[in-house]
Amino acid sequence: MPDLADDSLSHDVLREGDPRLLVRCEPLLALDDRAGREARALMSALTVFRARHGFGRGIAAPQLGFDLRMLALDLGAGPFPLYNPEISWRSEETFELWDDCFSLPDKLVRVCRHRSISVRFRDEKFRARHWERLPPELAELLQHEIDHLDGVLMTARAAGPDAIRPAGERARLIDAARVSHRLSHARIAEAASHIDPLFLDTPQFVSEPLYDLLGCRITLKVETMNPIRSFKGRGAEYALSRLVEAGARGPLVCASAGNFGQALAYSCRRREIPLTVYAARDANPLKVERMRALGAEVRLEGDDFDAAKRAAKRHAATSGALMIEDGLLAEIAEGAGTIARELLARGDAYDAVVVPLGDGSLLNGMARWLKAASPATRVIGVCAEGAPAMAEAFALGPGAALGGPGSVRTIADGIAVGQAIAESVADMHGQVDEVRLVSDRHLLEAMRLLLRYAGVVVEPSGVAGLAAVVAEPGRYAGLEVATVLSGGNVTPAQSAQWFGTAVEQQA
């Protein structure tokens, strides 16, 4: 651990005893040149500290001698400022933890904090935002930084006897208690360099007709305009590139309703790796045809996706092939997380991002980036009513035992999950705000709206996010919303049934 008391590493952070740390900061009335300069200085100081020490999530204006009400945070996706942050709600429940501070580099202090808070603030463009019901690890961080803006150091919050300890005990008292996550911001950031560019920088646009119909300004992120017509290529490409770097050369096996199998087949063909895909006997024939055309051996077994997955696992156990399980392998979700990174690249501020939820790779990858780069954005997963396993598992809360496979009855084959993946559910907690259920009726309505008003053919699972808005427009009225159109594989027979006309899609 570096010596935090070393002045050469402090980046001019004021230390305990400087009277400027005890002054309450004044609110900003507008974002002027001075505020911009000081915000950049805060972000630079935080970046330097993180680079030198490997940790550090926040810094407040008084720590650099500034008196405007602002702070900078870096939750893993790069630094950003908060102007005029104020706590708008506090939970009644409190907890104690050991805290550290750049301005008290030789001390750790045990403090009492509210377990959750909500915060109103202005973002980097001085837009009003509301960050609601933070999880404990972020609630304590914001309470610490807002204390700085009020001229309060953590020593004033010392709780109980022996509440101040030397910084040398940081590993035992702080690091060991810090929440970890298996999805990495750094790997999401690097994933784009491993993914075939065909899957990157997909179209995103605001649909004005849908705004008029639904009452919210909705951005569509279209993931269907690529060789496999779904977002799955991002995760498959990144996961396979990492496996190849680690020396894996196959053979591989997976289970798929069709889209992930296409994605893995595409990536395996590029790398000359043999692949076997297990799918249900009633799998979408267009998807099955495309998997085979891309070079995969496809075996149809079982009455549903979960039965096909069990068959794939048996094959892996007996053949020695490496099982690639979508929703379980972290790199698949991290590849999907590049969608969120692109979504925010233009500087838009979303109140909510509504995402289809099947095995969890798309939702978890996007949520991991969104909650680090735009934490006030609510992240909402959407399951089909006829496949509620992931929603039910999430509702049980962290650490709860998951139930066995449930029945599945929905037209949305791509999110027709009957058995929740424990690791994927665990990834959701602290990142995903809520999960909604939508009916097949609303899935069909959303598909028809997209074809009519955006000219985009989307399969039922790919439109689940929009269907949630269609089902409950009042929940999103007046908000800035984004959703991912995650897949577009529709057979002519399905097209005739769902749209009243055959939209031909060649394999």
- Beta strand 378-384 with 352-356: parallel, antiparallel or unpaired? parallel
Taking alpha carbons only, the member of 212, 222, 56, 28 closest to residue 124 is: 28
357 contacts 464 by C-beta, under 8 angstroms: yes
**Length of the chain measured in residues:** 507
Alpha helices in 303-344 (DSSP H): 305-319, 330-336, 338-344
Query: Is 407 in a helix, a strand, or coil?
Result: coil
Per residue, the 3-state secondary structure of 108-121, as one string, reads EEEEEEECCEEEEE
In eight-state DSSP terms, residue 152 is -
- Beta strand 252-255 with 275-279: parallel, antiparallel or unpaired? parallel
User: Considering Cα of 65, then 66, then 67, then 72, what sign does the dihedral take?
Assistant: negative
Radius of gyration of the chain (CA): 24
Taking the C-alpha atoms of residue 82 and residue 71, their distance in angstroms, rounded to an integer, is 5
Taking the C-alpha atoms of residue 163 and residue 159, their distance in angstroms, rounded to an integer, is 6
The yes-or-no answer on residue 140 being catalytic is no
Q: CA angle, 387 as apex, 384 and 393 as ends, to 5°?
A: 105
Taking the C-alpha atoms of residue 224 and residue 414, their distance in angstroms, rounded to an integer, is 14
Q: Which helix (H) or strand (E) holds 199?
A: none
Query: Is 281 in a helix, a strand, or coil?
Result: coil
Lateral strand order in the sheet of 217-222: 204-206, 217-222, 480-485, 352-356, 378-384, 434-438
Query: Is 456 in a helix, a strand, or coil?
Result: coil
User: Considering Cα of 37, then 4, then 106, then 117, what sign does the dihedral take?
Assistant: positive
Taking the C-alpha atoms of residue 304 and residue 281, their distance in angstroms, rounded to an integer, is 7
Per residue, the 3-state secondary structure of 416-448, as one string, reads CCCCCCHHHHHHHCCCCCEEEEECHHHHHHHHH
Residues contacting residue 12 through CB under 8 Å, at least 6 positions apart: 45, 64
Query: Is 379 in a helix, a strand, or coil?
Result: strand
Q: What spatial distance separates the first Cα and last Cα of the chain, rounded to whole Å?
A: 56
Q: Which helix (H) or strand (E) holds 377?
A: none
Taking the C-alpha atoms of residue 446 and residue 444, their distance in angstroms, rounded to an integer, is 5
Of the residues 38, 145, 223, 325, only one is catalytic, namely 145
Residues with catalytic annotation?
145
